[in-house]
Amino acid sequence: MMANKTPPAQINPPERHDPYKMRSLEQILTLFDGGAFLTDLMERHQGLMQELMDHLEEHGPKGCQGSMQITIDYAVGNSGDVGMGAKMEFKAPKQPKSSAAAFINDAGELTLYSPMMARMHQPVRDVSDYDPETGEVRDVD
């Protein structure tokens, strides 16, 4: 009885050297816009890093986050050709809300005048006349 064996050469055919094979993501990204896509991507990446450092310096580490997203779409044609489209998106750190302070007056309106200031405008006692030996304060009328 003869077994149906496949010759070893057909199981693992030798790999052909393809000088045009894309071997890295960087090579793939250079295909878009004649390399301008990758150049722009790197410039915008550097800009994001600068924005992160500026945010850190101005606001501290809280909320100091950003992101870069690269999307590559592929569409395979009947003859094995591949159409590709690439886009990039960057998100800079969110700026914190601006802050301010004010007071509410008796009419329910915002004012810069503090209610504590009203208490401070009570008549002030003149204490310029005091006894230096005892420290006793005398009212000046």
pLDDT tens digit string along 17-41? 899 999 999 999 999 999 999 999 9
Tokens read off for 40: 């722009």
Asked if residues 111 and 102 have their Cβ atoms less than 8 Å apart, the reply is yes
pLDDT tens digit string along 104-125? 888 899 988 887 776 666 666 5
pTM, full prediction: 0.61
Rounded alpha-carbon distances, angstroms, from residue 139 to 13, 119, 121: 111, 21, 19
CA 93 to chain centre: 2
The region of weakest confidence among 1-5, 64-68, 87-91, 128-132 is 1-5
Rounded alpha-carbon distances, angstroms, from residue 136 to 72, 123, 130: 85, 20, 5
